[in-house]
């Protein structure tokens, strides 16, 4: 057994003073406490240590922990990076190529911000109205009740209405229509343009270079942040190929690390990234990893909320 805990972060920000306090992220004082806790109870390892361990069968230290940050948010750079550097810990940052190559807002963030800025019942009824309006025009999809029964299922973080809005706009509706509806809802519910928010939200290429220069690890999180396992093989390969191209300055193309958006992948995805030189893959399955037994391309991760000071859930999923 060669055990590894992997922690997953998204937004790490000063929530109290944020313009969007409803955005779900880890507040900076809690992040600091968490890093302090890790420094006493875990051995924070680098992604290079983990690659070495799978490739040469070396043992990681007891209570090895890898820190991963998804989506390329500027608040990871502003708040998390200096705290990590101060603590002598490496963070691994997984950046969707589109965020810095085009400065376009990802659908996942459009949806987070719409949800954070509007009443969920009002938003749900706006979404259902639009789905009725567009059904049968250019696109076809099942009626609202059928879709609601199938997809409105609460998970450990969100109520069923929120999950329904997320699923419709992330993956269920036809792609072009998702973009149309999420942009309409964004314009109606937010007081800012998508472009302005994109420039406020994501790291620049120079900031990503700075992270790398300071010993942080940079990895792949798709180009457009799609559910890769649900794309056609051609679309999936194109998304990953584009991500590899724009991220090339930050990667070792023979030893790069994949982090699947939404934790979603398929056999096709695994085969394709293996051929392209991926040596590790990170999912959102919740448990400790065993590098001797697990597939190195589908390693599980904990959410940062699974560790103190938020909770002690990490103790319940140990293999």
Contacts to Zn ion by CB under 5 A: 70-71, 261
Shortest Å distance, C-beta 225 to Zn ion? 6
Sign of CA dihedral 276, 282, 288, 294: negative
Residue 71 vs 107, nearer CB to Zn ion: 71
Contact, 35 vs 89, CB < 8 A? yes
Residue 71 vs 237, nearer CB to Zn ion: 71
For residue 100, give the DSSP letter: H
Shortest Å distance, C-beta 313 to Zn ion? 20
Shortest Å distance, C-beta 72 to Zn ion? 9
Residue 3 vs 229, nearer CB to Zn ion: 229
Shortest Å distance, C-beta 155 to Zn ion? 16
Q: Where are the alpha helices (DSSP H) in 42-134?
A: 47-56, 74-75, 81-87, 97-101, 107-117, 120-134
- C-alpha to C-alpha distance for 289 and 1, rounded to whole angstroms: 9
- The alpha-carbon radius of gyration of the chain (Å, integer) is 20
Shortest Å distance, C-beta 69 to Zn ion? 10
Residue 124 vs 218, nearer CB to Zn ion: 218
Shortest Å distance, C-beta 47 to Zn ion? 17
Residue 130 vs 225, nearer CB to Zn ion: 225
Contact, 110 vs 202, CB < 8 A? no
How far, in Å, are 2, 24, 173, 184 from residue 178 at the CA level? 42, 22, 6, 10
Residue 107 vs 126, nearer CB to Zn ion: 107
How many of the other CB atoms lie within 10 Å of CB of 129?
11
């Amino acid at each position: 057994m060669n055990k590894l805990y992997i922690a997953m972060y998204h937004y790490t920000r000063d929530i109290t003073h944020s313009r969007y306090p409803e955005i779900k992220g880890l507040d900076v004082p809690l992040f600091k406490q968490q890093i302090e806790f890790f420094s006493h109870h875990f051995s924070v390892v680098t992604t290079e240590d983990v690659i070495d361990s799978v490739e040469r069968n070396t043992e990681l230290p007891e209570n090895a922990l890898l820190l991963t940050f998804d989506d390329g948010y500027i608040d990871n750079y502003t708040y998390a990076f200096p705290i990590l550097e101060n603590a002598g810990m490496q963070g691994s940052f997984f950046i969707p190529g589109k965020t810095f190559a085009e400065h376009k807002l990802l659908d996942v963030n459009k949806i987070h911000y719409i949800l954070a800025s509007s009443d969920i019942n009002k938003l749900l009824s706006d979404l259902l109205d639009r789905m009725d309006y567009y059904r049968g025009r250019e696109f076809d999809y099942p009626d609202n009740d059928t879709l609601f029964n199938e997809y409105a299922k609460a998970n450990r973080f969100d109520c069923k209405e929120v999950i329904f809005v997320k699923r419709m706009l992330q993956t269920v509706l036809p792609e072009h229509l998702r973009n149309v509806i999420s942009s309409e809802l964004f314009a109606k519910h937010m007081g800012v343009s998508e472009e302005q928010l994109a420039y406020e939200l994501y790291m620049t290429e120079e900031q990503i270079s700075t992270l790398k220069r300071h010993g942080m690890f940079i990895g792949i999180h798709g180009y457009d942040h799609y559910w890769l396992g649900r794309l056609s093989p051609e679309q999936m390969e194109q998304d990953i190929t584009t991500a590899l191209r724009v991220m090339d300055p930050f990667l070792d193309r023979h030893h790069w690390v994949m982090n699947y958006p939404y934790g979603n992948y398929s056999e096709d995805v695994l085969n394709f990234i293996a051929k392209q030189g991926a040596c590790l893959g990170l999912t959102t399955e919740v448990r400790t990893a065993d590098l001797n037994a697990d597939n190195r391309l589908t390693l599980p991760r904990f959410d940062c909320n699974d560790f103190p000071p938020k909770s002690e859930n990490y103790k319940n999923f140990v293999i």
